[in-house]
Amino acid sequence: MSLRACSSVSDGVLILAGATASGKTDIAVELATTYDAEIVGADSRQIYRGMPIGTAAPTTEQMARAPHHLVAFLAPAQRYSAARYASDAIAAAIGRNTFARIMWRLRSKAMRRQARWRWKPSRGSHRAAPGSASRR
């Protein structure tokens, strides 16, 4: 695996991708310890507990060196969706409290917009259209 060197790392997200067993975890832990960062897992099988060998999950030593999110946190019988992963990954990347505040603001804004544009029947709209037979 080849890496391009960076002279500085600003606040943001670094995505480390590569083939299975190419040393991504070692590099991620090294980068996380160097830049005081956290690791958000993106492996569809490493989210499950109790499968370190079949998934090449980070070792306990690697997880102790740098904070890991979304790694070995679900029981194998639990269901997990891409939508839930997206929500959990964003929350891990920006912080749960910040994410909760953003979601609350978006939800509040959407509710205000919905209330403002709610369809209200005009007066007499329950009557039959002109020219149609009405029952009395």
Residue 127 has pLDDT above 60, yes or no: no
SS3 state of residue 68: strand
pLDDT tens, position by position, 65-116: 999 999 999 999 999 999 899 888 888 887 766 666 666 666 666 666 666 6
Q: In this predicted model, which residue has the larger pLDDT, 127 or 23?
A: 23
The whole-model pTM stands at 0.61
What pLDDT score was predicted for residue 89?
A: 87
Helices (H), 19-95: 24-34, 52-55, 60-65, 82-94
Beta bridge partners of 48: 74
Helix (H) or strand (E) holding 125: none
Residue 32 has pLDDT above 60, yes or no: yes
Q: Is the dihedral of CA 45, 49, 53, 57 positive or negative?
A: positive
What pLDDT score was predicted for residue 100?
A: 64
- Exposure string for 33-70, b = 16+ CB within 10 A, e = fewer: eeeebebbbebeebbbeeeeeebebbeeebbeebebeb
| DSSP 8-state class, residue 67 | -
What pLDDT score was predicted for residue 1?
A: 46
Q: How confident is the model at residue 50 (pLDDT cuts 50, 70, 90)?
A: confident
Please, what is the average pLDDT of the chain? Answer: 76
